[in-house]
Amino acid sequence: MTASILAEAIRTLQDGGIANARQEARWLLNQILEASAGQSRRSDDGLTPEQEELLRSRLNRRVAGEPLQYIMGNVDFHCVQLDIGPGVLIPRPETEQLVEIAIGLYPGDGEICDACTGSGAIAIALAKTFPQAKVTATDISARALAWARQNASRLQLANVAFHQGDLLAPIPPAARFALITANPPYIAPDEYTRLDSTIKDHEPPEALIAHDHGQAIIKRLACDARTRLNPGAWLVCEIGDTQGPPLKEHFRRQGYQNVDIRRDFAGRDRFAIAQQPA
Ligand SMILES: C[S@@+](CC[C@H](N)C(=O)[O-])C[C@H]1O[C@@H](n2cnc3c(N)ncnc32)[C@H](O)[C@@H]1O
């Protein structure tokens, strides 16, 4: 019975132009079946009318272009599963690489800050990896922070705190950090207009767009972080793939040392690291 439901779901997604229809239909159906595991099911092992209706509505949302992750309501990120939905950026796989770079640069003690935290992805992955570290995260968006707080609370992480505001401004003035991370908005306004409508119609524009060729927020953070990093501490930022050379120059002019641009698995410049002089 569920085989015929699955076949119909695949057909719906294929007819709707979804490239990965077979896999997505399986995920959507499995999520509904797993939610009812342990509850009484119909004897023919099919879906109840409510479940069928739920599946139909989720397939329709997907065909209408809503990102699968919003419909599923969660995403795997690094060492955790995060709840996500409208109002917050869907964490991307390349940002897991930023977490790995940050883990390699963290000296083992001292506070950590994650600016532009969104769903809390980077802050939560670091708080989970370093349970002894105090992690402070900021975001300008109250909607995004609601997701971040929900995630930290569900994962029972007591070592991460969230503040609403611009970059490092909402953090207590005396706080100093052994590591600052950020995946800030870095897409130039003209580049944003060319993005896929699945992104433009659903993900928050304030999570993506930055002026000055996409570099405005990263440049401001580079300046602010100089006053907040301990001697020898690192700033790690995700960047756009054409922004390596100008940002390297900017970080150097700000007085950082050991400035470097790291590549993602596809070989594109995607991360800037810079060290506060000792
Ligand atoms: C690209 S998203 C990254 C979210 C999350 N760190 C991740 O990797 O999935 C950028 C985030 O920065 C936030 N943001 C934009 N401008 C900001 C600012 N001036 N200060 C703090 N957060 C800002 C947005 O609300 C959004 O959540």
Residues 84 and 166 in one domain: yes
For ligand 1, atom 2, name the residue with the nearest CA.
207
Domain boundary among 64, 84, 112: 64
Distance between start and end Cα atoms, the chain: 66
CA of 235 to the centre of ligand 1 (A): 16
Atom of ligand 1 nearest to the CA of 217: 19
Chain centroid to CA 33: 27
Whether ligand 1 lies within 6 angstroms of the CB of 217 is answered as yes
Residue 69 lies in a domain: no
Range of the domain at 49: 2-64
**What is residue 37's predicted lDDT score, i.e. its pLDDT?**
72
> Dihedrals φ, ψ of 49, to 5°?
-60, -35
Residues 248 and 118 in one domain: yes
Look up residue 158 and give its two tokens: 């007591």
Could you give the C-alpha distances from 193 to 76, 112, 209, 229, in angstroms and in order? 28, 34, 10, 35
For the chain, what percent of residues have pLDDT higher than 70?
97
**What is residue 43's predicted lDDT score, i.e. its pLDDT?**
43
Q: How big, in percent rounded to 5, are the helix, strand and coil portions of the chain?
A: 40, 20, 40
Of 98, 95, 2, which Cα lies nearest the Cα of 51?
A: 2
- pTM, two decimals, is 0.95
Residues 138 and 199 in one domain: yes
Residue 8 lies in a domain: yes
CA 177 – CA 185 distance, rounded (Å): 22
Residues of the chain with pLDDT under 50: 43
**What is residue 1's predicted lDDT score, i.e. its pLDDT?**
64
For ligand 1, atom 13, name the residue with the nearest CA.
116
Domain boundary among 16, 43, 64: 64
CA 91 – CA 120 distance, rounded (Å): 9
Which sign does the torsion angle of CA 254, 229, 216, 122 carry? positive
